[in-house]
Structure 1
Amino acid sequence: MAWDPDAFATLDVLRRRPVIDLTAALPSSLSPRSVVDLGCGAGQLSRLLAARWPQADVLAVDQSRAMLRWAGDTPSPVRYLHADLAVWRPHWPTDLVISAGGLQHVAGHDRLFPELLQSLGPGGVLAVALPRPQNQTTHSLLLETAADGPWADRLHGAWPAAPLTEGRGYDVQDYYDWLGREGASIELWETEYFHVLDGDVPLVQWLHQAALAPVMDRLTGPELDRFLAAYRRRLEAAYPEHSSGNTLIPTKWLFVVVRV
């Protein structure tokens, strides 16, 4: 199965409930002049924000060059920047810092989230949606596929281990503790979604951009196609097709919306 960017783009983040729910939670009074989209992927959310607030300067940041190349193929006023999300921070007071599925593989959330909050100007908003891949079969199968094949050496370490605090993954209380010290207004919630995936859409094409970006940065051509085919076989075994021809995929997300 060849990787098809056009087919992938039809399944963009704008049609996914986590992104809809995150943007719906933004304050109705928010009218930002500066917006930063962290882990922007192919730029769908960034372009939505630029259309929603045409007066805003929208900067989209990602550490995947492959994703940024795709993003740049679509004309828009959005500015794109390649940077390491673990160390890059806005260097000016920002009205909105947002991320939909781009920070779950970035280490050091205990430092990252307070520093992002500190980058906001008065009345600024930090809005983040974090998929919880460490609890999802799709992510486990991705790691298994990466470790089992001729590509294993090149993909070793491509996905950092789940961040740990005292031997456990970060949880809601951790984020509240880090951000509550800043005296901000905080909303946190978790949602589990069950996506009904049409049988005509390959499972591997549906997955979130951030999960597959490390593969596309390290593998190309026939080897990338072989990896995706191997991963697809594992996915289809784990998520059998229903008699209707559809597949049910569960995903869990954590949402953090903070206003200073």
Structure 2
Amino acid sequence: MPAAAPAWDPQQYLHHTDHRTRPFHELLARVPVLPGEGPRIADIGCGPGNVTTLLTHRWPAARVTGFDNSPQMLEAARAYAGPTPGGGHLDFRAADAAHWAPDETYDLIVANAALQWVEGHAQRFPEWLAHLAPGGTFAFQVPGNHTAPSHVLLAELCASPKWRTRLGGAADRRVLIHEPEEYFQQLSCLGCETDVWETTYLHHLQGPDPVLEWTKGTALRPVLTVLGDDRAAREAFLAEYAELLRTAYPAGPHGTVFPFRRIFVVARKDGAAA
């Protein structure tokens, strides 16, 4: 059974927004000067738009378009649309990163915690780079925590005898990301000056079952989508998963520590005109 396309919940995703936003700040800090005075920017997988607005803070005169395939996320994001204080403009459009083909030239193409959902995303790099201006940048970050207990336990629970018939697709543990060196080699071979690094954050979470609440916004979305309106099944699954997470991530006297690895890539296109 194929995995269901996850239905997104913008409000749930925005829990722990400070933790989720920090990697994007650190990604943007490494983006070099862009070639355009009023740069054209695309944000692939923009989600609810709160992070996309940070692009207009860094480049006030930029014309920024956020793309996402979730109607729920786009509805939330459009609250930010319109002219920006620095003379730029922000808008949002429906598009699937797996098939998005730029129809204009961009100075920056960015993706924040989105490409891990896109099978074969590295195959899209040549076309995206072809639509970057000379000296433009392609920058993204993806979670690299597929071997963490949060993900392993989720997959094992989905594949258990009790749940595998119903959640077999949601238990699909194909790793859609590449390791840092692979991204470096791919983009360097495409002629980019490439900067790749990784960071493991130790998120300090508060409240009851905080890792469960985190995963409800991301990794759990396919499972919650499959269970849909079956409240009894949903609550039973969450109770089992929460118990596993409490053992894997025990609460301490000051909260729960949740290690989270992320991979960052900044690739600058050759500045010479084609």
TM over 0.5: yes
- Structure 2 distance, partners of 1:25, 1:39, is 20
State the shift of 1:45 in Å. 1.1
- Are 2:254 and 1:254 equivalent residues in the alignment? no
CA RMSD of aligned residues (A): 3.1
Corresponding residue to 2:74 among 43, 54, 68: 68
Give the corresponding residue for 1:41: 47
Q: Cα–Cα, structure 1 residues 153 and 21, in superposed 2: closer, same or farther, change >3 Å?
A: same
How many residues in Structure 1 have an aligned counterpart in Structure 2?
251
Please give the secondary structure, in 2, of the residue aligned with 1:134: coil
- Are 2:25 and 1:20 equivalent residues in the alignment? yes
- Structure 1 distance, partners of 2:32, 2:109, is 13
8 Å CA contact 2:157–2:163 kept in 1: the answer is no
Give the corresponding residue for 2:135: 123
- Structure 2 distance, partners of 1:190, 1:27, is 18
CA displacement, residues 45-89 of structure 1 (integer Å, 9 cap, x when unaligned): 1122234434322222223333334334x3433433333322212
State the shift of 1:239 in Å. 0.4
- Structure 2 distance, partners of 1:252, 1:14, is 12
Give the corresponding residue for 2:198: 190
Residue type matched to 2:64 in 1? V
Rg bigger for which structure? 2
The 10-residue stretch of structure 1 (221-230 or 34-43) with the greater mean CA deviation from structure 2: 221-230
Give the corresponding residue for 2:175: 162
- Are 2:210 and 1:202 equivalent residues in the alignment? yes
Aligned pairs (5 A) from 1:228-239: 228-239=238-249
- Structure 2 distance, partners of 1:15, 1:225, is 26
Give the corresponding residue for 1:114: 126
- Structure 1 distance, partners of 2:258, 2:97, is 28
State the shift of 1:43 in Å. 1.8
Q: Cα–Cα, structure 1 residues 218 and 53, in superposed 2: closer, same or farther, change >3 Å?
A: farther
State the shift of 1:127 in Å. 0.7
- Structure 2 distance, partners of 1:34, 1:226, is 47
Give the corresponding residue for 2:108: 96
- Are 2:152 and 1:137 equivalent residues in the alignment? no
- Structure 1 distance, partners of 2:146, 2:20, is 23
8 Å CA contact 1:12–1:44 kept in 2: the answer is no
8 Å CA contact 1:131–1:253 kept in 2: the answer is yes
TM-score normalised by the chain length of structure 2: 0.77
- Structure 1 distance, partners of 2:170, 2:228, is 18
Q: Cα–Cα, structure 1 residues 202 and 170, in superposed 2: closer, same or farther, change >3 Å?
A: closer
- Structure 1 distance, partners of 2:234, 2:95, is 24
The 10-residue stretch of structure 1 (28-37 or 55-64) with the greater mean CA deviation from structure 2: 28-37
State the shift of 1:173 in Å. 2.6
The 10-residue stretch of structure 1 (180-189 or 149-158) with the greater mean CA deviation from structure 2: 149-158
State the shift of 1:199 in Å. 3.1
Residue type matched to 1:232 in 2? A
State the shift of 1:140 in Å. 1.7
- Flag structure 2 segments of 5+ consecutive residues without an equivalent: 1-7, 83-89, 270-274
Corresponding residue to 2:252 among 242, 247, 251: 242
State the shift of 1:98 in Å. 0.8
8 Å CA contact 2:9–2:72 kept in 1: the answer is no
Q: Cα–Cα, structure 1 residues 64 and 160, in superposed 2: closer, same or farther, change >3 Å?
A: farther
Please give the secondary structure, in 2, of the residue aligned with 1:188: strand
Please give the secondary structure, in 2, of the residue aligned with 1:237: helix
